[in-house]
Amino acid sequence: MTGFFAAVVEAWGEFKVHKTRVLLSLIGVALSVAALSTVVGMGDLARESIQQSQERSGGRSATVSAYISPGPGVTMTSSRQKFIAVMKQYQLEYFSTEQQFQLSFQFPNGVQQAQASAVDPAYGVIHRLKLFKGHWFAPDDAQRLAPALVVNQTFYQSIGSPNLNTDPEISATGEKGTSMIIIGVLPNQYGPLEPASAYLLPEAAASLGVGALDAGFNAQIWSQVGQADQLTASLRGDLQSAFPAAQVSVNRSDYAAMGDPYLQIELVVGAIAGVVMFLGILSLLNISMVTIKHRVREIGIRRSFGATGARVFFGVLMESVVATTIAGILGVMLAIAIVKNPQLESFIGPGIADYPPFPISAALIGLASAVLAGALAGALPALVAVRVKVIDAIRF
């Protein structure tokens, strides 16, 4: 152990002696590591952006969707009760029905229609919704005398962007008009031109008299990844039994239903990162091979004073490894500063609800690549140094 630390200290001394040459050669390594970690980090950010976008539309991984058409004359309330009874048999925690319709609201400039969806509180978890302001539905919101409403930014701005702490009200017109309280605001998914839309609970929809009779409704169930396919088959039969005269369709709707959709992205990112790091190692190796020839006399003198071949080999190798490790740390720090730049995050991942932290894998890959670069770039020059004859080195 003492010999190891002695070699490391010696390598650090060599680094300080040849710091100008080493620093010039390590600029390329630091930039290569920064480029490598940046590419991996940006790839992870792009993947997260695509994943969250798909989760908002199709649900999280292992989401099972069902469409039930019980036929005319069947109330939505009775259909929901039958559906919930089936869900309780499976002891599932996250499930939601969804019914879409047009609902008229009293805006400041007159009555306007907006796309409305009656969903359960679990819908926000299944579709990974993160609000711009306020909060999503809670289970006890169904007991409100004034129904709760969650709107998008377009809707919110159309009514003057009121303070949600004041429980702003808006009148909804239906068979039974009522005042509703806005409790949350969702960011626009498709930009500022997105039309106004709103979410309300099924109990609120029933109190408004909308969707009382409906030809069909959707439902989403979030299950465990390994059980999704089995659950799909089981639900198909149980829902058909609960709705014998209805048309029932049960399928997976999540992005992972057809396998890993990000494999191609990972392969492309990995290939680019590999090429970047290879060029960095190649440049460092070339510089090391050139400079070792100018150190032949120095190495010969050290060996003439009793330095063993192993000591010389390890010293030259560790000089490169220590230097590239420092360069790797600096490169990773630069990559973190680049990837976590707010402007870059919003450009690569527009609409992301939760920006992921800088991936640990990118930092570890960058540091490991720097150490590997130092080992490869130091091993060949070290072999050349060991093979030099002492007398020839002194005469050089």
Helix spans in 243-358 (H): 263-293, 296-304, 309-339, 342-348
Q: At which of 253, 287, 312 does a domain end?
A: 253
Please tell me whether residues 290 and 373 are part of one structural domain.
yes
Q: Does residue 283 sit in the same domain as residue 341?
A: yes
Say yes or no: 273 and 380 in one domain.
Answer: yes
Task: Give the whole-angstrom CA distance, residue 141 versus residue 319.
Answer: 66
Give the DSSP letter string of 203-263.
HHHHHHT-SSB-S-EEEEEE--GGGHHHHHHHHHHHHHHHSTTSEEEEEE-SGGGGS-TTH
Residue 251, beta-bridge partner list: 65
- Looking at 253, 271, 298, the residue that finishes a domain is 253
pLDDT score, position 1:
60
pLDDT at position 73 is 62
**CA neighbours closer than 13 Å in the CB half-sphere of residue 317:** 18
Do 220 and 95 sit in the same domain of this protein?
yes
Cα separation of 178 and 381, whole Å?
Answer: 82
Q: Which of 69, 90, 72, 86 lies closest to 242 in space, CA to CA?
A: 86
The predicted structure's pLDDT at residue 293: 65
Domain assignment of residue 7, given as a range? 2-56+260-395
Tens of pLDDT, residue by residue, the chain (396 residues): 666 666 666 666 666 666 666 666 677 778 888 888 888 888 777 777 777 777 777 778 778 888 888 766 667 778 888 888 888 888 888 999 998 888 999 999 889 999 999 999 999 999 888 898 999 999 899 888 899 999 999 999 999 999 999 999 999 876 677 899 999 999 887 778 889 999 999 988 888 877 655 557 888 888 877 777 788 888 888 888 888 877 888 887 766 656 566 667 667 777 877 787 777 777 777 766 666 666 666 777 777 777 777 777 777 777 778 878 888 899 899 989 988 888 887 777 666 666 778 888 888 888 888 888 888 777 777 777 677 777 766 665
**Is there a single domain that holds both residue 300 and residue 321?**
yes
User: What pLDDT is stored for residue 92 in this prediction?
Assistant: 83
pLDDT at 37: 85
Task: Specify the pLDDT at position 52.
Answer: 75
Q: How far is CA 48 from CA 266, 352, 371, in A?
A: 12, 8, 29
- Tell me which of 192, 218, 253 is where a domain ends: 253
Does residue 121 share a domain with residue 49?
no
Would you put residue 115 in left (φ > 0), alpha (ψ -120 to 50) or beta? Answer: beta
pLDDT at 228: 78
Question: How many domains, in total, are found in the chain?
Answer: 2
pLDDT at 182: 95
pLDDT score of 255: 66
* Interior angle at CA 250, CA 244 and CA 251, nearest 5: 170
| 122 plus 76 within the same structural domain | yes
Tokens of residue 205, six digits = 């929809």
pLDDT of residue 186: 93
Judge if 26 and 38 occupy the same domain. yes
Tokens of 15: 């680094």
Say yes or no: 34 and 85 in one domain: no
User: Do 202 and 280 share a domain, yes or no?
Assistant: no
Q: What are the φ/ψ torsions at residue 96 (nearest 5 degrees)?
A: -155, 140
- Whether residue 155 sits in one domain with residue 73: yes
- Together in a domain, 94 and 232: yes
